[in-house]
Structure 1
Amino acid sequence: MITSPHTIRFTSSRTIRQAALAAALLVAAPVATTLGAQDYRVAGGVTLPRAGTTGSDIGGQVQASMELGPRTSGVGIRVDVLYSQTAAQAMALGDVVFGGRSMRTMAAAGGLFYRREVRDFAPYLLAGGGAYGQTGMTGVALGLHGGVGVDYAGSRMRPFAEARLHRWRGDEGAVTVQQRERSLISALVGLRF
């Protein structure tokens, strides 16, 4: 059976994504037992379009996170796994739902956070790096992320809200800047466990 180069690239990029995710989990597990996990988080929200990024519109994102570090300190390590999906430009909703035509982004990211508690609220900053894969890319790219958020401790549900910017390099051979530079802005709400 003869396969096209596109099939080979798709298979190898999927393998690279799976290997990156497996490596992140293998590194996170021993660190979690050593430092003690502070929080596990699950969140969902919107992915907002960024000026200069083509081929996408407002979409959705889900994210799972684990925070590690001493409970008495406001500084720690955060590991995230996220999946984002937006409708490709100039397509109908039916194309996305039934045809599967959409821009998908998957990432495994990690970084540092700084949190300062003020009564029931705890605003925080976070920044770090990650491995990003997106529809239309030939593999996984390394990138940076940063954001702000706030935790609320005055409720049993332990909700939080955050906004983040993820930025990474796209395909180097791309003609336009929009295809070489990729970014994702997200506004999320979620729960801590």
Structure 2
Amino acid sequence: MKTITWILLPVLTLGAAARPAADCPRRADGAAGCAATSPAPVTLNADEAKALVFQVEEERMARELYTELAARWDTTQFHRILQAETRHEQALRALAQRAGVALPAAQPGRFTDPVLQQRYDTLRARGLVSAVEALAAGAAVEKQDIADLQALLGATQSEALKAVATNLERASERHLAAFTGEGGRGRSAWASRPGGACGGRAQAGCRARI
């Protein structure tokens, strides 16, 4: 019985190693999801590295903002999109590691880029006013994120960076639709219920958490 075990194990190992890359799902960072080896290193020029650092901080800004707004307003959009923003930030950080790009230390509510700092402060203040304003703040985040990603896609020659940015742009389009409502009418179907987002009393799905 031991002889059979020793004979079969190499066969199974070889079979797993020979599995075509096409059978593996693609991750957000562009690498095969079932690859046993580490992703190949990525080479970025100075401008691409700077843009990558900005995108990492932009995703962190969105994650931190959505975390606070989800805690304040009990809305489905923030809870769902928050999980996606976490994955996006992880994908960008993984790419930075592959490229050997140093990232600034993450301090909650603090960002090295003054543009992102001002954006966070402004949208945070807006989002804490009401549930409707929180959704509008989320939409503003996604609109700007899409614009920044499109600019990055038009400037970079790195296929790895393009793969990540393309996936994130598509996700941001979905997030924007979730914040504004289907049809892009600028209002959430949830917010257009009689009485506004929450009306004159707390309702399921939009309670303010004091």
Same structural fold, with TM-score higher than 0.5 when normalized by the shorter chain: no
Greater strand fraction, Structure 1 or Structure 2: 1
Q: Scaled by the length of structure 1, what TM-score is found?
A: 0.30
Query: Which has the higher Rg, Structure 1 or Structure 2?
Result: 2
Q: So what's the TM-score if we normalise by structure 2?
A: 0.28
